[in-house]
Amino acid sequence: MVKPVVEKPLRPEPICDPSDGELRVSWAHYHRLIEHLALQLLHSGHSFDQVVALSRGGLRVGDTLSRLFKRPLVIMAASSYGGGNGRAQEELRIGNQLAHTCEALGPKLLLVDDLVDSGDTLHASRHWLQETLQPELIKTAVLWLKTSSRIKPDFWAMELPGNPWVVQPFERWEHLHPSQLQPLPEGSGDAK
């Protein structure tokens, strides 16, 4: 008799935000979500050799998890959003190589991104890694899971049943040109 595979519930469990329209995220909340995700990974019992971060959205998530778990960071380029306001989903493009300083990759990888919207980017990236590297294991983790996604990652910090547009704290720079920035005032170079 074959025993059914029973998945352990995520601990701590993902939190739920019923927002629709837009969900504006502060830096403090963004960092707490990464920490919540890190706790899920820690308590899962899964280990990984490298953190593969999807650029651009997964870079900060991957960097933080890489530092917390003391694992090398690997960068994988992927792009699917564009248009005038950066909110139009366009053709998915995935880079054909990875940026890293490891002698070898794997055999256990953690693939991270900021969110799963349609699921296309995470699915295609995972497939590319599997076909190219043939690792023993690939686990996936994101901060936000939209319930409209066709796939579900292994780990997610927050579930979004209302499928809002997530306005992340760094998005303000997408609407600025360097000429619009203000220099620091004299004497503000001291780190406090």
Q: Which residue has the higher pLDDT, 186 or 109?
A: 109
- Euclidean distance between CA atoms 156 and 52, whole angstroms: 16
CA 62 to chain centre: 7
- So what's the pLDDT on residue 161? 94
- The predicted structure's pLDDT at residue 70: 98
Please give the structure tokens belonging to residue 22.
């837009």
pTM: 0.85
Residues contacting residue 161 through CB under 8 Å, at least 6 positions apart:
16, 18, 147
> pLDDT tens across 70-128, in order?
999 999 998 765 555 555 566 777 878 898 989 988 899 999 999 999 999 999 999 99
Query: CA 181, CA 49: separation in Å to the nearest integer?
Result: 39
3-class DSSP state of 150:
coil
Joined together, the tokens standing for residue 65 give 């998890």
